[in-house]
Structure 1
Amino acid sequence: MSAVVYLAAGVLALSSALLFRRPRTAVRNPLTVSTCVAILLGAVVFACSAPMTLSAVNSLTGIPNFGAPLTYGMLTAYSCSLLILLINWRGGPPDLVRRTVLRSIAVYGPLVVAVVVLFALADAPVERLTDLDTYYANTPYMREMILLYLLGHTAVIVATSVVCVRWGREVTGLLRTGLRLIVVGALLDLVGFQMTKYTAITARWTGHDLDFLSTTVAPPMASLAALVCSAGFVLPRLVPAAGAHWQGLRDHRRLGPLWSRVRFVSTAPKPPASWWRLPDERLHWREVAIHDALLALAPYFDDKVREGARAAALREGRTGHEARVASEAAMLAEAARRAAAREEPQAKPSTYRMHATEVSGAGGLVELAQALARTPASDTAREGTVKVFPV
């Protein structure tokens, strides 16, 4: 069972790391912080609840079952963090959000203390690594401690489910998908973990033995529920970012034909050593460098080349926009050839503005790059060897 629990803890920790990939900006965002804290606490709970961890904690402290209040206290803190995460995610007036967060802490903080105090008052000399809840179900103070952590967790899961169901009716897209995943995870937790625990404990109270529900059914269901809930919290935030990164990588690659033609003339500063880590930074630097190169090549632009290429493209049946981009690609290719050959620029510089410089984003440059890929290349000089003339 330890392997399954550790795996769940690892997946949760990885999810938290992905969200916290930019620490400087993440710490200023309460939603990111609360999401990372909640998921990280979930990972800690799973790591603490593994039999191997419990045995190690008990041995290090010399107190039988000391891992129980540690795990249950962390679970209670995790429940509170889920509530705070939901409050920050739902949003609202900052003062109201702050007050609601403080109220949640005011309720669950004493609950954590009560778990520790009840364990200290109880008599639990026999170490139980997998069936503590049922073994001590009738033991004074231990009984109350077990019920207290379960009730605290149940209250949060029920509240989370209600809020997510109501909120899901008001939103669409990825946010609605995330809320539905949270509801599914909450139901798995409620039915697969909590109800099995309650049933096994109640069976002990009535003299029956249904311990397998607590020891065999509940742990994997808790792991599955936590993973599904975490996916619901994380996906609406990671998917758009992942999509943006993928688009950045794609645009960066598609700009390759254009960059290979003009890189020898660009004087844009080199990116920092860690620039490769983020696709949007790679794309931004390439856009800046290309625009810098286009500015340097502007004195070589020949309107006659452009107009001839545009007329040829129109005769081929291309649309006006396609003909314009094709003509600009031909003009740029000729300008790059002349600059690389160290020829003199145009006696009367062109005042023409390229489509790629008129639109924001990488779209215009990508169009130019793809058109340039179909234009025959010529030899170019080494990077930085071209004399740049004032525009």
Structure 2
Amino acid sequence: MSLVVYLAAVVFGMTSVLLFRRPRTAVRDPLALSTCVAIVLGALVFVCAAPATLRTVNELTGVTNFGAPLTYGMLSAYSCAVLVLLINWRGGPRPVVRRAVLRSMAAYGVLVTAIVVLFLLADADTERLTDLDTYYAGTPFMREMILLYLLGHSAAMLVMCAVCVKWSREVGGLLRVGLRLILLGALLDLVGFQVTKYTAVVARWTGHDLDFLSTSVAPPMASLAALVCSVGFALPRLLPSVLAHWRGLDDYRRLGPLWSLVKSVSTAPRQPSVRWRLPRARLQWREVSIHDALLTLAPYFDHRVREGAREAALRAGRSPHEARLAAEAAMLTDAARRATAHEEPPDATGSYRLHATEVPGASGLVELSQALHRLPGRAGAPGGPDPSALTEPEEPHVA
């Protein structure tokens, strides 16, 4: 059982590390900070609840069952952190948000204090690592302590359910998906963990033995519920960044033909250890280097090559935009060949702005790169086929 609980704690910790990947920025962002605090406290709850941890804590402190108030206090702090996270996520005027956060912290601070005081007043000399809730269900002060931590956690989950249901009607997209996952996790916690705990405790009061609900059913359901909630909290914050990096990696690869053509003339400084950088950083470096190379090649642009290739593309049935891209690809290939061979710039030069430089981002460069990829003979590198062959086909000789 301890291994499963520790595994859940590790998953929580990894999620927190991903969300807290920029510590300086996250500390100044109440939403990021409260998200990380809630997930870290959830991980600590699992660590504290593991039988191996409970035994170690009891031995180190010399107090029998000292792990119980520690775990229950940590669970109450996690419940408070979840409420604070929802408050920050919902947003609003800062004074209103601050007052709501302080009230939640004050209420659960009183609850944690009450849990500790009740434990000190109780007679709990028999160490119980897995069934403390049911074993001491009828013991004075321990009974109240158990009910208090369960009620405090139930209140937080009920509030979370109400907020998620109400808010999910007002938002869409990933935020709605995240809210529904949080709602699912809260319902799993309410039904799978809390109802089973309440049932097992009440059964003890009435002289029945349903301890398996508390010892065998509740812990895995609590782990599943907490993991689902953590995914719901993290998904709206992490997925957009993951998708952006995925698109950046795709664009980086699709710029390959263009980069292969112009990299020999780029004067941009090399980026160290590019393989270990995030895809968006790699894409940005490649964009800058390509733009630098295009400026270097601009004097070698031969507009006769471009116009000939454009006319040929139009006659082949391409759209004006596709014809322009094909013509610019042919002209760029010719310019790269001339620059690599150290030839003189052509006479037919003049100011011309490539489509790739007219649109923001990498989309224009990607289109140009793919146009290069589609050129007959794969004219994607200096020394490829002569771009002039892409202009006007020769008339067949008639004898």
Q: TM-score under structure 2 normalisation?
A: 0.92
Aligned residues: 380
Moved more, 231-240 or 330-339: 231-240
Partner of 1:330: 330
Q: Structure 1: which 5+ runs fail to align?
A: 381-391
Partner of 1:372: 372
1:96/1:68 CA distance change after superposition, 3 Å: same
1:235/1:305 CA distance change after superposition, 3 Å: same
Moved more, 75-84 or 140-149: 140-149
Distance in 2 separating the partners of 1:78 and 1:7 = 18
Q: Deviations over 1:115-140 (max 9, x none)?
A: 22221222211111100011111112
Query: 4+ runs of 1 displaced by more than 4 Å?
Result: 272-275
Partner of 1:99: 99
Partner of 2:362: 362
Note the 1:1-391 alignment, pairs <5 A. 1-271=1-271, 273=273, 276-347=276-347, 349-375=349-375, 376-379=379-382
- Whether contact under 8 Å (2:258, 2:380) holds in the other structure is no
- Whether contact under 8 Å (2:121, 2:141) holds in the other structure is yes
- Whether contact under 8 Å (1:122, 1:142) holds in the other structure is yes
Q: CA deviation at 1:347?
A: 4.5
Amino acid at match of 1:217: V
Amino acid at match of 2:196: T
Amino acid at match of 1:183: L
Q: Deviations over 1:11-50 (max 9, x none)?
A: 1111111112222322222111111111111111111101
SS at match of 1:127: coil
- Whether contact under 8 Å (1:275, 1:281) holds in the other structure is no
Distance in 2 separating the partners of 1:348 and 1:324 = 18
Q: Deviations over 1:168-202 (max 9, x none)?
A: 11111221111111111111100110111111111
Distance in 2 separating the partners of 1:181 and 1:85 = 15
Q: CA deviation at 1:272?
A: 5.3
Q: Percent identity?
A: 72
SS at match of 1:346: coil
SS at match of 1:264: coil
Please tell me whether Structure 1 or Structure 2 has the larger radius of gyration of its CA atoms.
Answer: 2
Amino acid at match of 2:25: T
- Whether contact under 8 Å (1:328, 1:368) holds in the other structure is yes
Q: TM-score under structure 1 normalisation?
A: 0.94
Q: Structure 2: which 5+ runs fail to align?
A: 384-399
Distance in 2 separating the partners of 1:125 and 1:45 = 23
Q: Deviations over 1:186-243 (max 9, x none)?
A: 1110011011111111111122111111001100110111111111111122221111
- Whether contact under 8 Å (2:88, 2:97) holds in the other structure is yes
Q: CA deviation at 1:349?
A: 3.7
